[in-house]
Amino acid sequence: MAEIRLFLTQSQGRRRDMTDEILRRYRDSIDNIDAALVFMLAERFKITQAVGEYKATTNLPPADPGREERQIERLRQLAKDAKLDPDFTEKFLRFIIDEVIRHHEQIRDEAS
């Protein structure tokens, strides 16, 4: 009886080790992608910061509704190609653009 119990415990232990290893590999990939996303976002905000400053010096209007529409349409199409939910992708772009607008408002408030 004690031997059977020991066998079961070892078997469960091995299965758990394997489970942990598989899960760990998935998580390593997620962590790599998240790091890439963070550095991509940092680069994106560097550019939108430059755009904001450029628009301010050239007296271009800060918002450009036509541009936003075209961005959304393009990203929805790319999402379909990548088998990603287009609605989520549109929500994602709006999430980023909201942050860009917040930055531009900060620049404006600091300048005034």
Among 1, 29, 66, 109, binds a copy of itself (CB under 8 A): 29
Q: Does residue 63 belong to the site contacting a copy of itself (CB under 8 A)? A: no
Among 7, 10, 11, 60, binds a copy of itself (CB under 8 A): 60
Burial label, 69 (beta-carbon count in 10 A; 0-12, 13-18, 19+): exposed
Q: Does residue 82 belong to the site contacting a copy of itself (CB under 8 A)? A: yes
Q: Does residue 36 belong to the site contacting a copy of itself (CB under 8 A)? A: yes
CA dihedral 87, 92, 98, 104 (to 10 degrees): -130
Q: Does residue 112 belong to the site contacting a copy of itself (CB under 8 A)? A: no
Minimal CA–CA distance to 72: which of 50, 96, 42?
Answer: 96
**Tokens 């994106």, residue?**
44
Determine the Cα–Cα distance for residues 59 and 48; give it in Å rounded to an integer. Answer: 16
Residues at the interface with a copy of itself (CB under 8 A) = 19, 22-23, 26-27, 29-31, 33-45, 47-48, 50-51, 54-55, 58, 60, 67, 71, 74-75, 78-79, 82-84, 88-89, 92-93, 95, 99
